[in-house]
A = this chain, B = another copy of it.
Amino acid sequence: MEIKTFVPKEKRGLVVVITGYGKGKTTSAMGMALRAVGHGLKVCIIQFMKGDLYSGEWDGVKKLHGMVELTATGKGFCGIEGNPYSHAEHRKNAQEAINLAHHKMDSGQFDLLILDEINNALHLNLVDLEQVHGLLNTRPPLLHLVLTGRDAHPEIIDRSDTASEVRELKHAYRKGIEPQPGIDF
């Protein structure tokens, strides 16, 4: 059997939104990073809100030969039980993440930019709708931009090329099973 390789007639950057309440949003973005590296593309991941709790992808991407740069800019999920930081502190970090996203976008060094949890950050008013529009407005046409997180704004979904909603059918934690390394973080 011959293995074929699809080559699109026109290369173009896509805007992808992954939203919803089920498991598989950040995970899906990490899968795109892995797949992109297989194609020789360079990837930048900026995580909003995340940063206070270790997750396996931090070390996973380090193994990808310098093809993926990951920055976790946050202080945990704003407003959840046990998180000690104020809305103002979370917003300050998210604002720095927006600046970083512009910087990485303008650098021309990356083919895929993943803004992990930006949808959620927008929903929580850690960033403004106009700021996310601003990123979409200045995106170079060949750069793929992936925006993850629950509660994606309808205007951002409208501007995307591909958007998926991950719905929870079941989740282990509802049976009292704790998060497991490699699957849940």
Contact = CB atoms under 8 A, between A and B. Distances in A.
Instruction: Count copies of this chain in the complex.
Output: 2
A103 interface: no
Given A23-B16, A35-B60, A183-B14, A6 B54 contact: yes
Given A162-B170, A172-B14, A144 B30 contact: no
A57 B36 CA distance: 8
Contacts of A38: 55-63, 182
Q: Name the residue in A24, A56, A172 with the highest tally of chain B Cβ atoms < 10 Å from its Cβ.
A: A24
A100 to B, nearest CB: 17
Interface string A33-76: 11111110100000000011111111111111101000000010
B60 A63 contact: no
Contacts of A57: 31, 34-35, 38
B51 A3 contact: yes
A54 B165 contact: no
A27 B16 CA distance: 13
A178 B10 contact: yes
B175 A3 contact: no
A4 B35 contact: no
Interface of A: 1-6, 8-14, 16-20, 22-39, 41, 51-65, 67, 75, 111-112, 144, 157, 160-172, 175, 177-183, 185
